[in-house]
Chains A and B, each alone.
Chain A
Amino acid sequence: MRKLLKTKSVIVAGLLCTSSLAQAEEVEVLHWWTSGGEAAALNVLKDDLSGQGVGWTDMPVAGGGGEQAMTVLRARVTAGNAPTAVQGLGFDIQDWAAQGALADLNDVAAKEGWDNVVPDALKAFAKHDGKWVSAPVNVHSTNWVWANKAVLDANGIAQPASWDEFVAAVEALKAAGITPIAHGGQAWQDATIFDAVAMSTLGPDGYKAAFVDLDEGTLGGDAMKEAFDRMAFIRDNVDENFSGRDWNLATAMVINGEAGFQMMGDWAKGEFLNADKVPGEDFLCFRFPGTADQVTFNADQFMMFDQGGSVSAEQAALASAILSPAFQSAFNVVKGSVPARTDVSDADFDACGKQGMKDLAAAAASGNLFGSMAHGHAAPASVKNAVYDVVTAHFNGEYDSETAVVELVDAVSIAK
């Protein structure tokens, strides 16, 4: 065994040679978009490629927001059987690129001018050492609040613009006997809220210092403690059965008027639309109070695995189809996210989608676009999960805010 796996580069190089035997004229795509709407959206891409004579071998592996697919990917690469294109998120892309496993897409990118239309914050993940290695599909943003408009109106609550207004709104709902905040107690959901809350207390610079640069002073600072205090307030205003609930059941609580607010990424919109609710009329979407100018994002991309030196014609076709404005619009209208390039028309999007595109463009222009900690776009997986551990332990009452800050510094230092 040891002899076989002598060095990383030998493995990866060796493996990729074998995988270049994959059938020509076909792309094998490993992804985790298996639910109705997502898969249907991906089908648009498949049809587009078959129009160009490129076949599509589907390799879906769902579970845990792509975690399962990443495990499978590792087994496939180790076996020398890497798929041609693989859905990837944030730091995973950079990790694979660092292993030398990804193909260089610079020719396609130059021909189609990706550098001019894709925001820099996304390029940080899609490019490695100046080379394009993956094709971004969408941008999700995570600092959204979803609210049931009828419930807010009935209690005389306007859309809160600051933390204090939000606190007042929550108190009013509580007094009216309505669950103020719908939430599912799973580590990633706790962390999704924490993203927005931390942004509101730390501000954009502090957010970057804490979660991107992993600065111990900021991670252990007073603003971080304030963020945990706010988390504790949110914890006090969720219903008692929150633990372990799926996010979409929490969304259903808002839809049904059992709860007022939910903090969740833009995929929650799909649940509202599915229930025939109209944005702006039945439900509201707005940025978490105190983060109106910022956007925390995560972006799905397709990494292209090196098939033996150069980018294959099929990979180039796939990459260019992904970045085409038509696909970007068609896919993201369905998915709830916004296009990864900023020059796509917003004509087909609903009110929340239009708002999301506007926010993204503005944030990208003003340097307020940040990778989401909770979704692996601020720091590598090890750090992300270390933050999860602390946030979820605090949210479930294991630590008070003071301890949580100390634990956060410690956990991040172990994971670094």
Chain B
Amino acid sequence: MAVSADADFKTRLQNWIPKLVLSPSLAMMLVFVYGFILFSVYLSFTDSRILPSFGWVGWENYDKLWRLSHWETSLINMGIFAGLYIVICTCIGLGLAIFLDQKIRGEGLLRPIYLYPMALSFIVTGTAWKWFLDPGIGLENVMHSWGWESFEFDWIKNRDYAIYTVVLAAVWQTSGFVMAMFLAGLRGIDNEILRAAQMDGASNWNLYRRIIIPQLRPAFLSAFVILSHLAIKTFDLVIALTGGGPGRATELPATFMYSYTFTRNQMGIGAASATIMLMTIAAIMIPYLYAELREKR
């Protein structure tokens, strides 16, 4: 009797422990993430300027927001930037990981070289990039001094191309980290399966396409989540590299939101832009996460 009651209690405790373990994280998340999101959505309907205030103004902030031409610019930029950045980083990351996985001599040296940009804060690397991309002192100038007079690379000064220099610098910073994630995934794949496939005469290309890359699915999910997170939050980079310029050509939603909330003292409009951003993210991420997580079952 006593033994079974004890065992019963133990089983029940065992059932509760997992949920108990999860609960602090959940509680923090509900308050500090979802609570704050609701608060910010609420602010977007108020007349908040320098500090939160609670005079209801309805849709006025949204109305003003859509009349601002550089809000549209920033949304378009976000599309260009996030799309290119995620695709390029994933390709470079995967490519380098596959190459590094070929019993490369000097891997121990190359890996930290690929990884180190993540370690540096963009407050200053931005300046280094800015100089490097500047046609007057950077690459173009060096090429000219080496005798290649017709070389032209002035994207950072060009309204239509400046956003691509932001992509370039962002790819530089994170593609190495993505490489490390894929490398970890590759190293985790059982060689037995590969050998068996090789016996069957599969080419290297097919081996990767059919067997290895599909097994990297979890790594793709992590990479996608991390890259989109970084893309959405890209802020320091733009500030340091272009300051949103030339003109307002490289403004992104994150810089837009920050400037309206904090430097322009129009917190209501800032909150409205944040709300729209979050809804856009939700519209893209939720279906993806849903599909990705469902299949796991």
Inter-chain contacts of B242 with A (CB < 8 A): 244
- The minimal Cβ–Cβ distance linking B47 to chain A, given in whole angstroms, is 11
Interface stretch among A139-147, A298-306, A385-393?
A: A385-393
B35 touches A1 (CB 8 A): yes
Cα A239 to Cα B53 with chains together (Å): 46
Report the bound CA distance from A77 to B50 in whole Å.
Answer: 11
| Distance of A315 Cα from B263 Cα, bound (Å) | 27
Chain B contacts of A194 at CB under 8 A? none
Which residues in B have their C-beta under 8 angstroms from that of A185?
245-246
Query: CA A78 – CA B266 in complex, angstroms?
Result: 17
Given contacts A67-B262, A397-B159, A414-B64, contact A243 B246 (CB under 8 A): yes
By secondary structure, the A interface counts as helix
Binding site secondary structure of chain B: loop
Interface residue B247 (Cβ < 8 Å from any Cβ of A): yes
B95 contacts A by Cβ under 8 Å:
no
Asked if B135 CB lies within 8 Å of chain A CBs, one says yes
Could you say which interface size class chain B belongs to? Answer: 35 or more
Identify which of B50, B156, B243 contacts A95 (C-beta below 8 A). Answer: B50
Whether the Cβ atoms of A8 and B53 lie closer than 8 Å is yes
Q: Which of A99, A241, A381, A382 contacts B134 (CB 8 A)?
A: A241
Given contacts A5-B54, A95-B50, A381-B264, contact A244 B245 (CB under 8 A): yes
List residues of chain A with CB within 8 A of the CB of B204: none
Give Cα distance in the complex from A177 to B140, angstroms.
Answer: 21
Cβ proximity bits B230-262 to A, threshold 8 Å, 1 near / 0 not: 000000000000111111110000000001001
Contact: A8 with B51, CB < 8 Å? yes
B196 adjacent to chain A (CB < 8 Å)? no
Q: Does A197 contact B (CB under 8 A)?
A: no
Instruction: Give the B-binding residues of A (Cβ under 8 A).
Output: 1-2, 5-8, 11-12, 64, 67, 70-71, 74, 77-78, 95-96, 99, 185-187, 239-241, 243-244, 380-382, 385, 389, 392-393, 395-398, 410, 414-415
Q: Does B39 contact A (CB under 8 A)?
A: yes
A239 touches B136 (CB 8 A): yes
User: In the complex, what distance in Å separates the CA atom of A410 from the CA atom of B137?
Assistant: 38
B262 to chain A, nearest CB (A): 4
Q: A99-B50, A396-B246 are in contact. List 7 more A-B contacts (CB 8 A).
A: A186-B243, A187-B248, A239-B136, A240-B154, A381-B263, A385-B263, A396-B249
